[in-house]
Structure 1
Amino acid sequence: MARADAADDRRFDTPKGIRRPAPPLRRSGDRDRFGRFTEWVARNMGTPWFLLGLTLFVTFWILWNTLAPPAWRFDSVELGFIALTLVLSLQASYAAPLILLAQNRQDDRDRVQIEQDRQRAERNLADTEYLAREVVALRLAVRDLASKEFIRQELRQALEELDRRDEEDAANAPS
């Protein structure tokens, strides 16, 4: 049952309201907290503020362990700042997988968006083809209908015919 719920959580092709509700023991806010965290990390690691903060952190670390009294130092200059190297390695070792997880989530969203765009394009194409057929049918129907000019010409001919008959009737009528 837990596997089915996990599979439903990854479904991006159904609107949120149609998905099955979360089990009562889990809070809906906890579902995607780690995913949002990975995206937050990935977004913030590529900013100038992160680089500035990291530069200030490293600068402070080096200055503290170089200029502070020996009793207060916690990383040795003689050993090449081993603790700083470990901290930066740890940061890098966590940053890469978090960025990859965020990219995977974005890929999933992009895949769903592409599918929705494809479906929308198919609907638009079907609508356009339908409208084109309707326009052609209307043109064919209008071609069979009498135009204003045709009706005017027919009315003129009818009036001329009536005028000619009136003249003939007047000429043939006994005085």
Structure 2
Amino acid sequence: MAAEREARERTASGATAAPRSRNRLDQPKLPGRRLLPEWDPEAFGRFSERIARFLGTGRFIVWMTVVVVVWVLWNVFAPRDLRFDNYPFIFLTLMLSLQASYAAPLILLAQNRQDDRDRVNLEQDRKQNERSIADTEYLTREIATLRIGLGEVATRDWIRSELQDLVKELEEHRVDGHRVFPSEANRGRDTDDL
């Protein structure tokens, strides 16, 4: 009470008030107490995958069978004072149910993690396929451009045929056994006519 009165008097007299404790939006909130224990989800996921991998092996089935057989034999043939689970084997049923109730969620967790990995791999494969398709389309366009460019380039056979046509034309314009260009042959005729 006295502290509040002093604060009011300071505010009334022009002094600044004591700073209030309020949440600042520009700073992260301090972690509070948690009721539940904290664990690393990755470590727990790896642990669940190891268990799921073990539960899916023949070794687990063999060990489980051995435990159940020893349990039943012990509780049937051991002296009455040492038996801990008599004939309907209710405790064995409880233990097997408990094991199954923990195994099922762990297996589901491992499957979910595998699904997540598969989804990431599928996404990477899809992106790789898109890049491959883009590269293939680019190369196809380049090859088409080269074919168009080669269509305009003189080939050896085309040059040979053009040269043969020129040779035939020159042979047609022979004057007096000499090969003469057609323009020279025309000039000669023009001078003879004068």
User: Under a length normalisation based on structure 2, what TM-score does the superposition of the two structures give?
Assistant: 0.64
* One of 86, 89, 100 as aligned partner of 2:108: 100
**How has the CA–CA distance of structure 1 residues 169 and 67 changed in structure 2, closer, same or farther, with 3 Å as cutoff?**
farther
Aligned length: 143
Counterpart residue number, 1:75:
85
User: Does the Cα contact within 8 Å between 2:173 and 2:179 map onto a contact in 1?
Assistant: no
Looking at structure 1, the residues matched to 157 and 89 of structure 2 have their Cα atoms a distance apart, in angstroms, of 97
**How has the CA–CA distance of structure 1 residues 124 and 171 changed in structure 2, closer, same or farther, with 3 Å as cutoff?**
closer
Identity of aligned residues (%): 54
Gaps of 5+ in 1: 2-29
Looking at structure 2, the residues matched to 113 and 46 of structure 1 have their Cα atoms a distance apart, in angstroms, of 24
**TM-align CA RMSD:** 2.7
Pairwise CA distance, 1:172: 8.2
**How has the CA–CA distance of structure 1 residues 171 and 158 changed in structure 2, closer, same or farther, with 3 Å as cutoff?**
closer
Larger radius of gyration: 2
Looking at structure 2, the residues matched to 115 and 129 of structure 1 have their Cα atoms a distance apart, in angstroms, of 21
Q: Whose helix fraction is larger, Structure 1's or Structure 2's?
A: 1
* One of 37, 48, 64 as aligned partner of 1:38: 48
Gaps of 5+ in 2: 1-27, 29-39, 181-194
The question of 1:141 aligning with 2:152 is answered no
How big is each residue's C-alpha offset from its partner over 1:7-43, in whole Å with a ceiling of 9 and x where there is no partner? xxxxxxxxxxxxxxxxxxxxxxx77322111111112
The question of 1:129 aligning with 2:137 is answered yes
Looking at structure 2, the residues matched to 169 and 134 of structure 1 have their Cα atoms a distance apart, in angstroms, of 55
User: Does the Cα contact within 8 Å between 2:75 and 2:84 map onto a contact in 1?
Assistant: yes
User: Under a length normalisation based on structure 1, what TM-score does the superposition of the two structures give?
Assistant: 0.71
* One of 111, 116, 120 as aligned partner of 2:124: 116
Which letter does structure 2 place at the counterpart of 1:116?
A: Q
Greater Cα offset, 39-48 or 129-138: 39-48
